[in-house]
Amino acid sequence: MPSASPEHVNAGAGPAPDDASAPDASPASDDPRGPAAAAHPRHIRSFVMRRGHLSDAQRDAHASLLPRYAVPDGDGPIDFAALFGRRAPVVLEIGFGMGHTTAEIAAARPDTDFLGIEVYTPGVGSLVRALEARGLANVRVIQRDAVEVLRERIAPGSLAGVHVYFPDPWPKARHHKRRLVQPPFVAELAARLASGGYLHCATDWAPYAEQMLEVLSAEPRLANTADGYAPRPDWRPLTKFERRGLRLGHGVWDLMFVRRPVTEETPA
Ligand SMILES: C[S@@+](CC[C@H](N)C(=O)[O-])C[C@H]1O[C@@H](n2cnc3c(N)ncnc32)[C@H](O)[C@@H]1O
């Protein structure tokens, strides 16, 4: 879980090493992602690959269980009905961390399918382990940069919801460009929501909450469901970190926006 404190950011989730402001650009011909990647110039990453501690259980789960829950590699939009073996609303979660919230919500909402994206190997191992232990069949996982997945594999208008919980706050001004919730990415997210679909964000970092409110309010495809910040919906469980923060008097801000119907004024 993230913390509102810069100390935490430097220690783990969303590390902010001083070289993090280096441009992530490399000539397309040198791109280690292969020739297809040349069509998409490198973007500024919202994460830094961290090793973290990989427990034996997470390593074993990652090796033996991920193939069961992973979305097969491929080109073009994912066929959700084929992936989940049924037609149900699909909610995308970006940056599920250790996946505790993901598993909790998926268990509470069996009629919805969830696609979780995370780059952190211990977190992916932890989530697939929880899915197996709880017998949850309504979650699939992609271990890759969500910005690329969204662009390449999620069809416009195909999502019933998007969860972005406690994204790395990148508190230093020179790292703000790494924050996920920025106008271009929010526009891409909104375009992938079905009409009436929701975008739910939460953060415990006040300046990021303000940025989220400003950016989401300015996106023409989205409408705020609340007058400013929203109450936490019952189905978003409090995380361990969040409980501790609340006990210490820290704030948590939820934002709940919905996709407006497509009209002449609101683009598809
Ligand atoms: C501060 S943690 C929060 C984790 C979790 N949502 C929670 O509330 O406990 C943010 C997570 O987002 C992941 N992340 C950041 N940018 C990402 C991206 N572009 N694609 C996938 N995962 C990303 C990080 O690896 C990290 O685990």
Q: Is the CB of 193 under 6 A from ligand 1?
A: no
The confidence score (pLDDT) of residue 2 equals 37
CA distances from 147 to 77, 108, 130, 189, 194 (A): 14, 27, 25, 9, 18
Q: Is the CB of 99 under 6 A from ligand 1?
A: no
Catalytic member of 24, 79, 113, 168: 168
Listed range (37-41, 180-184, 248-252) with the worst mean pLDDT:
37-41
Whether the CB-CB separation of 191 and 221 falls below 8 Å is answered with yes
Helices 183-192 and 146-153, interaxial angle, to 10°? Answer: 40
Residue nearest to atom 11 of ligand 1 (CA): 95
| Number of other CB atoms surrounding residue 8 within 10 Å | 17
- Ligand 1 atom showing the smallest separation from residue 165 Cα: 6
For the stretch 131-176, pLDDT in tens is 999 999 999 999 999 999 999 999 999 999 999 999 999 999 999 9
Helices 206-218 and 183-192, interaxial angle, to 10°? Answer: 60
Q: Is the CB of 165 under 6 A from ligand 1?
A: yes
DSSP 70: B
Residues across the chain: 268
Compute φ and ψ for 164, nearest 5 degrees: -130, 95
d(CA 34, CA 36): 6
CA dihedral of residues 73, 74, 78, 83 (deg, nearest 10): -50
Q: Is the CB of 120 under 6 A from ligand 1?
A: yes
d(CA 251, CA 136): 32
What percent of the chain is predicted at pLDDT more than 90? 75
Whether the CB-CB separation of 236 and 165 falls below 8 Å is answered with yes
Q: Ligand 1 mean position to 157 CA, how many Å?
A: 24
Mean pLDDT of all residues in 33-40: 49
168 is catalytic: yes
The confidence score (pLDDT) of residue 19 equals 40
Q: Ligand 1 mean position to 88 CA, how many Å?
A: 25
Residue nearest to atom 9 of ligand 1 (CA): 1
Whether the pLDDT of residue 124 is over 50: the answer is yes
Q: Is the CB of 95 under 6 A from ligand 1?
A: yes
d(CA 160, CA 91): 5
Mean pLDDT of all residues in 202-220: 96
Mean pLDDT of all residues in 222-230: 98
Mean pLDDT of all residues in 120-131: 97
The confidence score (pLDDT) of residue 21 equals 37
Sheet of 253-259: strand order equals: 139-142, 113-117, 90-94, 159-165, 193-203, 253-259, 222-224
Whether the CB-CB separation of 199 and 222 falls below 8 Å is answered with yes
